[in-house]
Structure 1
């Protein structure tokens, strides 16, 4: 909780900070990377290049300040948990938070100049450290729960199998290179994959695990990211597609992610678009092997059948369920379950007690979530996974 004096200052200055937040975060990243180039290996440089990361950080800092002032009644816990899982997947350490805090608060002074009095600086310093302490504590719990050392997080995994799944999509089945154990995980979680690029930089990306636990391996399914409208190609996805084959070694962090299949026996709705099918495939795999009598509805939207990753496996796995509905929407398809480029939420079977899981582009998930709520599904029964800067969005 903010001290009364700091709360008064933050409330008075929040509109100014919010108005300049993107400029502040832009200055922050520039100065921090100049002073600590080693941190470049922890940040998605594609998101840095197109500005999405600074927009996300600006929204997070302003949103947390609003939460502390009770101007925002939405709980911040879910966002903090989401960030903590992402940080643990990358091996973020508590001693790195002072570096971030120093450069972020220095950027506030650089952008706002003499308007930042010692009282204002102290109040926003308090905001930052309240957020930092919450994240450090959450991350410490996750490290302890997984018996993980953040200073020695990355493991070598060997590609046991590479399989083309669809247009621009390939799966990699991975086993520990040292013959060690495969960590347990919850269906819906992801791993960070770090690759060394030709320019000498190491870049991490998060990929959902696309098979359930208990198979003696991990599998990721990667869609090649092609640039458009001036944006660059995805550096890591293209590297994996073009240069990684069987018996090659990849560095993986531990499984992480808070959007996972919950316990219970009620109906399940798995909704995906594009490569968002990957965590749903893990959930489906797990349900088929552990709760085959549970009713499951599978709904997927994609560009075309040729782009539909894991399509045949998905359908085959679903045959192991006593009751399953499978619906597809394709941009070039006009069958009774399809409208071009749009999933018809009203066509989805929605039996009482359904729990829904969504994964896909953020606008898609927002639209599906709104449609499900309109149809009467409680918001707390709708879970969705977001990667990249959109992960900081609220429900």
Structure 2
């Protein structure tokens, strides 16, 4: 709960802080990494730092949280906090680091805004920060305890062995991995992701999240798209092969297929179909009779990972159909549509719960189409690869 006094101060200063956040976040990260270079080497995504998306995501989360508190000081934006908490736990952020962030963030604010940061203003933003931080710490502690499953919640990393590797497309590779210690794979919900920790040539141990695309025979399957300039995805594609060891953290992620018997719509674009494939696999394995609509968009047939799996899983479900859109289809292939995903051409059943995954422009467009089709916003769930830049929208 944000105090009445601080609510007034935040409401008055949010436009100023919001306008300056683009200057504040670079200074914050410069200060943070100068004091703690190990965080950039082994915790933060170096690619996202280099291209600026991580800085935008931080700015968006601060602005979104402060705006939500002003709109309703008695309520926390729990959905936003859950998304951030899952990401934090997946890379190993712990409660001690919130004090470090606070120190360098507030120093950066003072550097940028100068005398505008009066003691009253500083106290109000300090209250916002610790409301957010303490709420995240509580959620993250619970998630770590659940993920540890009786083990050490301070160290969730486990050794796995790659038992198979499959080239889905020229750019997408799937890895089937099994715990090296012989214990069962951790439970996961369809739609969740795992963190993979990789030691690179310069000694950095970088962490990336990859959606689980399925499981089989006591093993987990995750799929990796080689990104242009992606140091981790490129390393995995070039070096990780069957028989190799690999480190994984437990499955996490707040966007997962919920139980029920109502209609489900799974919409994806590009590599965004990895969690959707896991959801379809779960529905097929459990013999679901739910009405299922699968919609996918891709560049062409050759870039479409899990194309054959989509057809097989859909055919095995009694009330499922798929709609595939290709921007530049190759030849005459069955069941194809040309162009971007357009849900106005797809029947969306009443009572649908929708799950979306893909690039941000796709998410925005499809979410708008679903709202137009009458799907309530509360029933539209999405997963973003990389920093969640939607928070500031």
Query: When the two structures are superposed, what TM-score results if normalisation uses the length of structure 2?
Result: 0.93
**Which deviates more from structure 2 when the two are superposed, residues 129-138 or residues 348-357?**
348-357
Superposed structure 1 runs of 4+ greater than 6 Å apart: 71-75, 334-337
2:159 is aligned with 1:159: no
In the alignment, what sits opposite 2:23? 23
Which of residues 229, 238, 243 in structure 1 aligns to 2:239?
243
Structure 1 residue 52: deviation in Å? 1.1
- Which is worse superposed, 29-38 or 327-336? 327-336
Deviation at residue 320 of structure 1 after TM alignment? 1.8
When residues 307 and 319 of structure 1 are mapped into structure 2, their CA distance, relative to the original with a 3 A threshold, is: same
Aligned pairs for 1:82-93 within 5 A? 82-93=83-94
Q: What per-residue deviation string (whole Å, max 9, x for no partner) do you get for residues 89-141 of structure 1? A: 11221111111111111111111123222222222111110100010011111
* Structure 1 partner of 2:100: 99
The separation in 2 between residues aligned to 1:353 and 1:296, in whole angstroms, is 12
- Alignment partners' CA distance in 2, 1:219 and 1:336: 28
Q: Distance in 2 between matches of 1:61 and 1:199?
A: 33
Alignment counterpart, residue 172 of structure 1, candidates 160, 172, 175: 175
Task: Give matches, 1:159-308, under 5 Å.
Answer: 159-211=162-214, 215-226=217-228, 233-308=229-304
- Identify unmatched segments of 5+ residues in structure 2: none
RMSD value, Cα: 2.1
1:12 shift after superposition: 2.2
Partner of 1:122: 123
CA contact (8 A) 2:194 2:249 kept: yes
Alignment partner, residue 230 of structure 1? none
2:33 alignment partner in structure 1: 33
Contact 2:147 2:153 in 1 (8 A): no
CA drift of 1:318 comes to: 2.1
Q: Which moved more, 1:302-311 or 1:322-331?
A: 322-331
Compared CA separation, residues 339 and 73, structure 1 to 2 (3 A): farther
Equivalenced residues, count: 388
The 5-angstrom pairing of residues 295-334 of structure 1 reads 295-333=291-329
Partners of 1:118 and 1:71 in 2: CA distance: 24
What is the SS of the residue equivalent to 1:221?
strand
Equivalent position to 1:385, from 376, 383, 386: 383
